Structure 1
Amino acid sequence: MSALDAHVEDYLRLRRALGFKLERHGLVLPQLVAYLEAAGAATVTSELAIAWAGLPKGARPNHWAARLAVARGFARYLQTIDPATEVPPPGVFPARRHRPTPYLWSQEEIRRLLEGARALRSPLRAATHEALFGLLATTGMRLGEAIGLGRDDVDLVAGVITIREAKFDRSRLVPLHPTTAEALSRYVARRDRLCLRPRSTAFFLSSAGTALQRSAVDKTLRKITTSLGIRTATVRPRARHLLVSVRLPRADDPGGRTPRRALRSTAMSALAPGLQAFFTDRLIGQRAASPNTIGAYKTSLRLLLGFAAQRTAKAPAALDIAELDAPLIAAFLDHLEADRHNSVATRNNRLAAVHSLFAYLALHHPEHAASIQRVLAIPPKRTERNLVTYLTDPEVDALLGACDQTSWTGRRDHAMFALTVQTGLRISELADLTRQDVALGAGANVHTVGKGRKERRTPLVPATRAVLKAWLGERPGEPTDPLFPTVTGGRLSRDAIERRLTRHLTVATDTCPSLRAKHVTMHTLRHTAAMRLLLAGNDVTVIALWLGHEQIETTNLYLHADMGHKQRAIDRTKPLAAKPGRYRPSDSLLAFLV
């Protein structure tokens, strides 16, 4: 590997760590290095970079300009290492950015499109494309976002679709109109009836039971629009612009023309770009925060912006930093507890996200330093630390016995709960387990990457090893398949695992009534594993290592829950020489009052 090749790898690694994909850069930069080395150059020069960018000779100027932009970015990086590097000037090639005019679908054309999709030969293909085009028309989603939806991404009960890692790796929630949710529910029923054994967990399935391909959908759209006479040699409608035709008519305009004011974009304050930079630069680029942390911060700040927008009657993008002052933040925290019925711990977590954002804004907007400082001075609320809830051995036996092992889901749940009680895995760690994470040979263990990106291996006792061995042998699969899958082969969500636990607890309370007095979650099973280790006489440092705790203080809370540990401690002390006394009044009136 040459020095230039090493610099290219370092450049791509650095930029990708900041969140850039650089797929094109990864393809063309090695070509640039080969061109430079063939010319005998040890670094980038403007002349060679421009000559390389102008290849091939018959290409369009836009293609040359794109290649030159890649070379300029790499040259700017390389110049910080090698001062002899030359950065080629911009604007060498007369490139013009041409964005084609979108085709505005009419309501009648959308109706005809759905009828054309309904008339496709394959019943499943017809149902899929009718539901897909209808969803695009009502939500404005990108085609790639729609065909990339998984079954767990579509919540028809709540009427919300979760789009994950869309353009620029952004995720968002898309609300559904009740009629859209109803139409998608009909599609789900028909899809499951026509495809009993799907080969994919995608929401929209092809006639073969696999996920849709974008090229196939584009081909189907071209076929339908051509047959309907919508597509011509000069008119080429796209699925992306199905929503553009939906207009909101004014009360004083029976023609339904879109008011000019609605076409203007809302003026954006300094808060909006600052908030975006907080996620892209601070959390992703500088701190490399985990997806769970980013998701929690997004939820907290989304709630704050929604509350502030309602309180100030302004759009979130129009809010200014000065408007998110300390009184508004305090009112938001009260709203969380009073209206949303959040616990004090949740309230403090939301405040921590707000503090993190404002600490970042303080560095970039000193003009708001006084207001930001007052927000940062809002303290977290003190919370009551309750004793941990854990299950006794009879309660654990009742829970495991409630799993119906004559069914496939019952055997899966039995293995899942047994593993959790023995190892103390977090629910997120349990949901992320794959088949290759379990080693059942000598020194049987389960491998996890948990909170804080800490990797650990937890030993398995013979009983748990036997249960997992029987479970893995029952359903063969690929090493990367989920260890505890859904009936369709997908990954169980955390909510689904909690629902399965609640279902089995309802049955277990019939044989173990003491469970009725306890609020049991999957984290309770983690507490149970810790208490079993403590009651067996293990040191608290060993338990902290077992559970993957960062600080020993977190594990000390289990000491407070163990009354036996406290009783043994008091038994080793010398009893006090204290005798009970009696009050004797010295006056008859005082004796009357006793």
Structure 2
Amino acid sequence: MKPTDLAYYLSKYFGNYLPNVVGASTKTLISYEKTFCLLFEFCTESKKIKVGKLEIQQITPLLIMDFLQHLEDLGNSVSTRNQRLSAIRSFFGYLQTIEPKYILCSQNILSVKFKRHQKSTINYLTEDELKLVLEMPQVNYKRQYRDLLLLTMLYDTAARVSELTNIQLKDIRFEYPYTVVLTGKGNKSRIVPLSPNTFKLLEIYTTKEKLNILSNRYLFLNHSNERFTSEGITYIVKKYTDLARLQKTSLPAVITPHSFRHSKAMHLLQNGVNLVYIRDFLGHASIKSTEIYAKSDSETKRKILESAYSNLYNANVPEELWTQDTKLFDWLKNMCK
């Protein structure tokens, strides 16, 4: 059977363009592939269009809108809906650049708008809350010492989960100034400093484990002696934050590995670090992504406003504010007669 034009260009898109030209991460590839699998499933079941016969011209804005609504009807959030649309728009953005005859069709799809939604507030821990969480691992146990190092580096480097699990021993500079190379989203790398306290934990760990600091071994391995998965990191975070919550019930109800990244960014901001430096530290492509922390930092806003208050007040206000007005009471009594 002759392949359709959609099959041909999708193969080029996933087989060459995304991995080799864009340099998309494995996570991105999986997410985009999932989007098109869902779209094909929708076309087959709801539109009665067989995948093997689906042509590019059949993918219209109306079809995409129906597909997106279908996702929401299934319980997907608006954020997930927009992520699926982003994957579809990415393909048609690519298509219009390599095949002029599809420009009109592509631009019609690119005209489908993202749906606005209320963004959730930044979920982060205060410095005292974070300190409590880091006190939970019992460091006299080998595995829990590893967990302490993992949690500490998660916060100190503000690493994404994928960046933390990708750290190899050779990525760490064991001489002052201590640094680590993080490689994650979009296969981009950045160098992040390590605090002396974090490095001390790291040095003790590598020495006791007798690790070759120049090797390609991943820093954090699970009980199967394999690289940690994101689920494994999430489990460790939940384990110790649940323990901390037993001592302090005011901890946020949901704390994820990304909460540590948010916490580091908020603490840097609260300590006066410029947003531009925080952007570079976090590895954001645009400062707009970093500005969400400034918008969420109510504590810093409160301190700025308090420091800006002028001492304008009436110093003659008595401690006893209200006194009885006997004339008023007499007048009211006469009115009621």
TM over 0.5: yes
1:367 and 1:455 map into 2 onto residues whose CA distance is 38
2:37 to 286, 302, 309: 302
1:548 and 1:362 map into 2 onto residues whose CA distance is 30
Matched, 1:444 2:178: yes
Query: Percent same amino acid at aligned positions?
Result: 28
1:354 to 69, 75, 88: 88
Structure 1 residues 353-395: Cα deviation after superposition (integer angstroms, max 9, x where no partner): 1012123334566665554433221100112233311111232
CA contact 1:413–1:500 (8 Å) conserved in 2: yes
Q: Which residue type is aligned with residue 228 of structure 2?
A: L
Name which one, 1 or 2, has greater alpha-carbon Rg.
1
Q: Counterparts of 1:342-421 in structure 2 under 5 Å? A: 342-363=76-97, 370-421=104-155
Tell me the CA shift for residue 436 of structure 1.
1.9
2:300 to 558, 561, 565: 565
2:293 and 2:36 map into 1 onto residues whose CA distance is 33
Tell me the CA shift for residue 433 of structure 1.
0.5
1 or 2 for the larger relative contact order (CA 8 Å, sep ≥6)?
2
CA contact 1:400–1:417 (8 Å) conserved in 2: yes
Q: Counterparts of 1:464-479 in structure 2 under 5 Å? A: 464-478=198-212, 479=215
Q: Which residue type is aligned with residue 234 of structure 2?
A: E
Q: Counterparts of 1:32-51 in structure 2 under 5 Å? A: none
Q: Which residue type is aligned with residue 551 of structure 1?
A: S
Structure 1 residues 498-519: Cα deviation after superposition (integer angstroms, max 9, x where no partner): 122122222221112112x432
1:500 to 217, 236, 240: 236
Structure 1 residues 280-323: Cα deviation after superposition (integer angstroms, max 9, x where no partner): 34323433333333232212222212221222334422222233
2:71 to 308, 322, 336: 336
Q: Which residue type is aligned with residue 279 of structure 1?
A: F
CA contact 1:358–1:372 (8 Å) conserved in 2: yes
Q: Counterparts of 1:510-549 in structure 2 under 5 Å? A: 510-515=246-251, 517-549=252-284
Structure 1 residues 484-529: Cα deviation after superposition (integer angstroms, max 9, x where no partner): 10123210011211122122222221112112x4321111100111
Structure 1 residues 453-479: Cα deviation after superposition (integer angstroms, max 9, x where no partner): 443222222221111112112222342
1:373 and 1:443 map into 2 onto residues whose CA distance is 50
1:573 and 1:495 map into 2 onto residues whose CA distance is 46
Q: Counterparts of 1:89-108 in structure 2 under 5 Å? A: none
User: Corresponding residue for 2:25?
Assistant: 290
Paired positions, count: 312
Matched, 1:268 2:9: no
CA contact 2:182–2:190 (8 Å) conserved in 1: yes
Q: 1:512 to 1:384 in 2, by over 3 A?
A: same
User: Corresponding residue for 1:485?
Assistant: 221
Give the alignment's TM-score, normalised by structure 1.
Answer: 0.49
1:357 and 1:291 map into 2 onto residues whose CA distance is 17
User: Corresponding residue for 1:434?
Assistant: 168
Q: 1:273 to 1:439 in 2, by over 3 A?
A: same
2:19 and 2:174 map into 1 onto residues whose CA distance is 37
User: Corresponding residue for 1:556?
Assistant: 291
Q: 1:458 to 1:372 in 2, by over 3 A?
A: closer
Return 5+ residue gaps in structure 2 as ranges: 315-337
CA contact 2:25–2:185 (8 Å) conserved in 1: no
Give the alignment's TM-score, normalised by structure 2.
Answer: 0.83
Tell me the CA shift for residue 417 of structure 1.
0.4
1:505 and 1:429 map into 2 onto residues whose CA distance is 21
CA contact 1:267–1:317 (8 Å) conserved in 2: no
Q: Counterparts of 1:196-207 in structure 2 under 5 Å? A: none
Q: Which residue type is aligned with residue 88 of structure 2?
A: V
Return 5+ residue gaps in structure 1 as ranges: 1-265, 580-594
User: Corresponding residue for 1:327?
Assistant: 62
Q: 1:312 to 1:482 in 2, by over 3 A?
A: same
CA contact 2:179–2:193 (8 Å) conserved in 1: yes
1:336 and 1:404 map into 2 onto residues whose CA distance is 44
CA contact 2:181–2:190 (8 Å) conserved in 1: yes
